[in-house]
A and B are shown apart, each in its own frame.
Chain A
Amino acid sequence: QQPVQSPQAVILREGEDAVINCSSSKALYSVHWYRQKHGEAPVFLMILLKGGEQKGHEKISASFNEKKQQSSLYLTASQLSYSGTYFCGTEKPPGGGNKLTFGTGTQLKVEL
């Protein structure tokens, strides 16, 4: 079952902040975040692991609430280059193989 992302779409002015949420109905081992620009392949942003470990992008932060099976991606001081579609990918326990189920995406557009 796919995780649910919210919002489905958001428009920001350059410099504004945004939060994208990802929620699963099942227990999770890890949450991955990817960004995809139109006509391109998804690009890795961050992974959050059960137990609190994070790996990934230095300028983007995220949280993972294991009990609620939710993750949030925080985009601060947005830039034009942040525009694209953001996907969360979740892996259920025992995990570790990166066999992900992706959400349907959040379209982010940053304007001047």
Chain B
Amino acid sequence: NAGVTQTPKFQVLKTGQSMTLQCAQDMNHNSMYWYRQDPGMGLRLIYYSASEGTTDKGEVPNGYNVSRLNKREFSLRLESAAPSQTSVYFCASSEALYRLAGDNRNTGELFFGEGSRLTVL
């Protein structure tokens, strides 16, 4: 079971370049998330998708766009990369708690990918 898979794991960009981070999950989860992690800042939510076809802004959406291509895949795009976007990016998936009522096998936990380390010069 692969869980949550992110690509690429490492990327170096120049200011102004664009790129897309790919994320796929094989757990049939409805909800998917993109977080960024910076030293001393913890994890901050960039975008969130409650289900296929829906997306919603998180705490720090500026400079990013997302696409929920299907139930499995949720991509994050940087249209014009800036040095402030140097970070480690984590994709995650989960099943919403309101879908799990009465099911003690599931906890509503977030399953994270291994992370993508992005450096913008």
Q: What separation, in Å, do the CA atoms of A93 and B74 have in the docked complex?
A: 25
Q: Which residues of B contact A42 (CB under 8 A)?
A: 43, 90, 110, 112
Using C-beta atoms within 8 Å of the partner chain, give the interface range for chain A.
Answer: 20 to 34
Q: How far, in whole Å, are A105 and B115 apart by their CA atoms in the complex?
A: 18
Contact status A95-B97, CB under 8 Å: yes
Bound state CA distance, A2 and B48, in angstroms? 17
Give the CA-CA distance A55 to B111 in the complex, in Å: 15
**Of B42, B48, B50, B114, which contacts A102 at CB under 8 A?**
B42
Residue A101 lies at the interface, judged by CB distance under 8 Å to chain B: yes
A contact residues around B98 at 8 Å (CB): 96-97
A104 near B: Cβ within 8 Å?
Answer: yes
Instruction: Tell me, yes or no, whether A59 is within 8 Å of chain B by CB.
Output: no
Q: Which of B67-121 contact A (CB under 8 A)?
A: 90, 94, 96-98, 104, 107-115
Q: How far is the CA of A105 from the CA of B39 in the complex (A)?
A: 10
What total of chain B residues lie within 8 Å of the partner, measured CB to CB? 29
Question: Are A98 and B42 in touch, CB under 8 angstroms?
Answer: no
A94's nearest neighbour on chain B, judged by CB, is B98
The answer to whether A97 and B50 have CB atoms under 8 Å apart is: yes
B90 partner residues in chain A, CB cutoff 8 A: 41-42
For the complex of A and B, the 3 pairs showing the least CB-CB separation, nearest first, are A44-B109, A96-B98, A41-B112
A interface list, Cβ under 8 A from B: 2, 30, 32, 34, 40-44, 47, 49, 55-56, 87, 89, 95-105
Show 19 residue pairs from A and B whose CB-CB distance is below 8 angstroms, ordered by the A residue. A32-B109, A34-B110, A41-B113, A42-B90, A42-B110, A44-B109, A44-B110, A44-B111, A47-B107, A49-B97, A55-B107, A87-B43, A97-B97, A98-B31, A98-B96, A98-B110, A99-B45, A99-B48, A101-B59
10 more CB-based (< 8 A) A-B contacts, given A41-B114, A89-B110? A30-B108, A44-B109, A55-B107, A96-B96, A96-B97, A97-B97, A97-B98, A99-B58, A101-B59, A102-B42
